[in-house]
Amino acid sequence: MSTEHNNTIPARQDVAEADRWNLSKLFTDDHAWRKGLDEFNSRVPEITSFKGTLGTSVSALHECLDYLTQLETLGERLGYYAQLRYSEDAGDSKNQERVSLFMQAASAATTARSFVDPEIQSIETETLNAFLEDPLLEDYQVYLRKLIRMKPHILSEAEERLLGMQMEANQTAQKAFSSLTDVDFDFGTIETPEGPKPLSQSSLSSFLMNPDRSLRETAYRQFYQVYNAHKNTIATLYAGSVHLDTYQARARNFQSSRAAALFPDNVPEDVYDNLISTVSDHLPALHRYYSLRKKLLGLDHYQIFDNYVPLISDVEATHSYSRAVELISEALMPLGSEYVDTLRNGLLGGWVDKYENKGKRSGAFSAGSFAGDPYILMNYKEDVLRDVFTLAHEGGHSMHSWYSSRNNPFPHYDYTIFEAEVASTFNEQLLLKYLLERADDHRMRAYLINKHIDDILATLFRQTMFAEFEHMTHHMNESGTPLTVDSLRSTYKSLLEKYFGPDVTIDTESDLEGLRIPHFYRAYYVYKYATGISAAITLSKRVLDGGARERDEYFNFLKSGGSRFPIDALNVAGVDMSTPQPISEAMTVFNERITELERLTGHGL
């Protein structure tokens, strides 16, 4: 029996093989991984043999870059295998050891190659420009031109070596947060009419969607009691992560952590500011939606734990994993048979680790590498419609990786997260359209409209709130304001009040949410979800309303990998993210959905 049907969370060894991903394209087993690590470690010392040669000739530079590419391709396989095994079960000491061994090896390699970038940048401009004209360096054009752009922020060889040696230590806050919240925390069980059920990072969403308000409240408060008991530890971990961001930005001569985070993608800081200001301007629409929810749920006091229960709660929305794959495949047919067949075969044939198990990382992600399959971690629950959309979302990431790795050389196949969130949310838009077109009555349509509103809320409004919090906390740190439990909670509470508006009661424990977001340990990441859905709404409409040209332009975007900066790549697809227009267009859709929901729910649903 698949783990999706169990009321208890199984141990990893009890998960059926058919429900696990197949990592054999990375390494056939742990023994093969260890042999790969030995090979990697044996080759790292050879990097230094290239020192002092890079500016002597094109062939010398090419030889070094080829060697590094071979080593880094192996390193990527080693890293993905180790991290994916760790994400299966972070409590397994062998998985912990494997990640640690890889981090030691990767740190050594980073230290050994620390001379490469400064030495290339020291080549005389005229000589380097002549090198760039040589076909021998064709696969390295993008890397070299981006490296030249980074010149003001690359340090001396000795300084780069020191930064490289810190690589493993810099993971401490993030790894400790993950171990604490995913492994050590015990949230207990919740009594339900079907008997006690375990409360976890993954199952919380199911409880909060339950129509029984007392059950929602119990789960919510019990969940945050655990965070409250460890609030000082988590606040210290997050403050340490922010301090590290500030240190690294200053070490590399950036004016701020945000400037450092946005520079590699060549994203102007105005894009970040435009997102926050445009969303802030449209908060009355969000408050209008909360007011509607409060009315339809018949509540005198609307609280945050009421925010996830579907307004149309008695519409059947249960999908087995296999049925979810078929729905997604049917919805994505406008993208053609190659796309759909490849994705379907992957979702059913070893790309996906499907269900929750003890010690498994919460949430979902796609991990696309150059050599392996574009793997997907899920904690799929068949009674949560959002998980069908999540599978479509992660499938978008994976297909982006599939096209990128087949149309680019290793040095620049990897696209940015800014672009990735477009491909993933694009798929969600097509799935929604497909389901809406087949809604057989106005109740089902209202259910899906409610789902879409909640989706835009979660991806655009909520992620923008997260982005604003990140920017505020980093600015506090950079200006000398201490990051304490109280300052972090009060900052987050002010944003809860701003975004939720006057009709929502903010409970005492609600501001603890700011301490539980894993993405905060990867600074200035979450805003890309918000820009991604804005671009995806615009692009999906463009492709569905257009013809072969619009679809081909979208595929050109998927195939571009890391060959362009993200805003340039999206321009190829037909959307200009340097302006607030795509965000405003998404807000227009949000307003239209609320108006339709008001109309549909006025029919006595």
Listed in sequence order, the DSSP H helices in 457-603 are 462-478, 485-500, 527-545, 548-559, 566-573, 581-601
Q: Six-digit token pair at 194?
A: 């079907």
If one counts every other C-beta atom within 10 angstroms of the C-beta of residue 278, the result is 21
- Catalytic positions: 394
Q: Is beta strand 352-353 parallel, antiparallel or unpaired with respect to 375-377?
A: parallel
Q: Any idea what DSSP says for residue 377? A: E
- Contacts (Cβ under 8 Å, ≥6 apart) of 399: 339, 342, 343, 374, 423, 427, 558
- Contacts (Cβ under 8 Å, ≥6 apart) of 174: 241, 521, 522
3-state secondary structure of 196: strand
Asked whether 64 and 54 are in contact (CB, 8 A), the reply is yes
What gap in Å lies between CA 32 and CA 372, rounded to an integer? 15
Integer angstrom CA distances of residue 271 from 262, 266, 565, 570: 10, 11, 14, 14
Beta bridge partners of 195: 192
- Which residue, 57, 146, 19, 123, is CA-closest to 412? 146
Integer angstrom CA distances of residue 517 from 27, 235, 323, 388, 456: 31, 12, 30, 22, 19
Q: Any idea what DSSP says for residue 9? A: P
DSSP 331-358: HTGGG-HHHHHHHHHHHHTTSEE-S--T
